[in-house]
Structure 1
Amino acid sequence: MRHRQGFTLVELVIVIVLLAITGLFVFNYLGFGAQIFRDTTERDQLVAQSRFAIARLSRELQGAVPRSIRVSITDAQRCIEFMPILASSVYLDIPRPGPTSSDPFIAIEPVANDNLVGGYLLVYATNTSYIYGNSVQRRKVISNITDTSPAQDNLVEINYATTPAFFGAESPARRYFIGGEPVSWCYDNTSNSIYRFAGYGLNSLQPSFSQLQISAASSAEIMAKYIYNDLNNNEFPFYVFEATLQRNSLIKLDWRFSREADSEPLQFVHEVHIANVP
């Protein structure tokens, strides 16, 4: 008789157990590799979006009207506000108190001479109260820009209806700025995101984050996510150090990113120097 050969039950059980152990190790190895790939991808995305947001805000701050950058301590320094520069140049003549109070504002034509109507004409605005406050002696609202009479190359007359028409002070360098509507960047510790607000108008007091959410919610743009600054522990995202005789204005950004709260924190401390050229 032909003897039929096969596997015993014990042999089958041993093979199945060995295959299960081998498969478990292979699965864990592949899963560990997939986890490393996912973690690396998420870290790269976190670093990329943090660098983008910081670089974008740094450029905007460096293009802001000098002395217009401010933060509110009462709002836990969660918002930074500034007035962007639309144009800038030097002037030849401005109205001053006294016999010259009705003189026209004669200036060298700025490089950007379009869409400046409605902008804020600023001369020697050395602090935020001159830029945002109720006094208009160093801030006027432009109604139009025309050629001088008689016309002269590169010279224009900047007109405004703001009263008084004269300026309370002159710039040592005879410089003027034309600023646009203020912009705010704010940290929302509820959604752990940085928002950018614009188009909400000029306010003498810096608007809080909650006020901006109401008045400028339609203009809100998310600029960064996964930020976990603890405001209750004085981890403020924005700091402003005013200019002194020894240095320019200094803006400090302190953002603490993380893929999950209190897990693998990534802290960015970035400084932006603002030229003090009023």
Structure 2
Amino acid sequence: MLRARGFTLIELIMVIVLLAIVATVSVRFVTLSTRGALDVSARQQRALQAVVISEQITRELREAFPLSIRTSGECLEWLPLEGATGYTSLPTGGGSRIEIVPFDTVPSASPMRAIVYGYGTGTDALYGNSNPGPVSSPVANIDNTASPPFIELQAPHRFAERSPERRVFLVGEPVSLCQSGRYLYRYSGYGRNTSQPVPPAGGSREVLSANVTGTVDFTYLPATFQRAAVVQFTYTLRDYETGSDETTTVSQEVQIRNVP
């Protein structure tokens, strides 16, 4: 008589227990691997975002009129440099025409103002409307083909000083970077203010970053005989969407080109 073959209850329980252990280890391994991949992806995304933000700020600051940069609290402000050339004659009396050396490329930004020798006047003077002063009324027209070429101002203006190098610069409207909570904004089109607005009112604003944590630090070091002016900025990014406590801190220096 043949005996029946099979598994005992104890053997079945042991198999079930072993399978449960293997399944638990496998699930744990997959979970950790997935979490690791997500963390790496989040770090790479923050790093890429930091590169984009820093590059945008750097490119704009390198085109700033260096004497116009000012900081206050969580804001950085400057006047974008649109063009530069030499002048042959400045307005006198009630004149509004600056005779110039032709531009290589005629600036097309609007509105623009002319600056002649803004040194020693203080940053706020470059944002004011004093007459006489270093900053003109808005530019009405540039004729680069006339004889001689000229810049026509909307209103008569007398410059307080003459440039030793006979240089005239054209600048656009102020631009600001300001932090508000977890957001870093770029402000433009808000107009000129003798006192730095923190933050600017009016105009338009664009979001540069929506995941800033802590305080954005802006520092301006004026130019010396040994180096150009330097802007230092430091900020920290955090991944708010995943709730991770990991952060990425970025610190960068931007050298601003000196101008005579």
Relative to the length of structure 2, the TM-score reads 0.88
Q: Among residues 210, 220, 223, which one is paired with 1:240 in the alignment? A: 220
1:109-143 CA distance string (max 9 Å, x none): 22332534531111112242231023142212111
For residues 11-90 of structure 1, the aligned pairs below 5 Å read 11-72=11-72, 77-90=73-86
Separation in structure 1 between the aligned mates of residue 172 and residue 205 of structure 2, nearest angstrom? 17
Which residue is equivalent to 1:276? 258
Unaligned runs of 5+ in 2: none
Q: What do residues 26-58 of structure 1 show as CA deviations (whole Å, max 9, x unaligned)?
A: 111111111111111100110111111111101
Matches for 1:199-278 after TM superposition, within 5 Å: 199-209=189-199, 212=200, 214-216=201-203, 219-230=204-215, 236-259=216-239, 263-278=245-260
Compared CA separation, residues 112 and 134, structure 1 to 2 (3 A): same
In the alignment, which residue of structure 2 is the partner of 1:233?
none
Of Structure 1 and Structure 2, which has the larger fraction of its residues in strand? 2
Letter in 2 for 1:224: S
Cα separation, 1, equivalents of 2:23 and 2:49: 39
Structure 1 SS opposite 2:41: helix
Matches within 5 A, 1:138-149: 138-140=134-136, 141-146=138-143
Offset, 1:147: 5.3
User: Whole-Å Cα distance in 2 between the matches of residues 241 and 145 of structure 1?
Assistant: 34
Q: How many Å separate the matches in 2 of 1:32 and 1:116?
A: 54
Q: CA separation in 1, counterparts of 2:7 and 2:185? A: 69
Given candidates 162, 173, 187, the residue that maps to 2:179 is 187
2:111 equivalent to 1:118: yes
- What amino acid does structure 2 have at the position aligned with 1:186? C
**If the length of structure 1 is used for normalisation, what is the TM-score?**
0.82
Instruction: Supply the distance in 2 between the matched residues of 1:104 and 1:215 (Cα, whole angstroms).
Output: 31
Tell which deviates more after alignment, 25-34 or 112-121. Answer: 112-121
Identity fraction in percent: 31
**Which structure 2 residues correspond to residues 124-203 of structure 1 after superposition, within 5 A?**
124-126=117-119, 127-136=122-131, 137-140=133-136, 141-146=138-143, 151-152=146-147, 155-163=148-156, 165-189=157-181, 192-203=182-193
**Distance in structure 1 (CA, Å) of the matches to 2:228 and 2:244:** 35
Please identify runs of 4+ aligned residues in structure 1 that moved more than 4 A: none
Q: How many residue pairs get matched?
A: 254
Q: 1:31–1:119: structure 2 CA closer, same or farther, 3 Å change rule? A: same
Residues 259 and 80 of structure 1, relative CA distance in 2, 3 Å threshold? same
Kept after mapping to 1: 8 A contact 2:236/2:249: yes
Give the drift of 1:102.
Answer: 4.0
Distance 1:117 1:197 in 2: 16
**Distance in structure 1 (CA, Å) of the matches to 2:220 and 2:227:** 13
Q: Distance in 1 between matches of 2:164 and 2:248?
A: 44
CA drift at 1:241: 1.7
SS of the residue corresponding to residue 82 of structure 2 reads strand
**RMSD across aligned C-alpha pairs, in angstroms?**
2.3
Separation in structure 2 between the aligned mates of residue 173 and residue 5 of structure 1, nearest angstrom:
107
C-alpha deviation, 1:226, in angstroms: 2.6
CA 1:23–1:38 in structure 2 vs 1: closer, same or farther (change >3 Å)? same
Where do residues 2-17 of structure 1 align in structure 2 (5 Å cutoff)?
Answer: 2-17=2-17
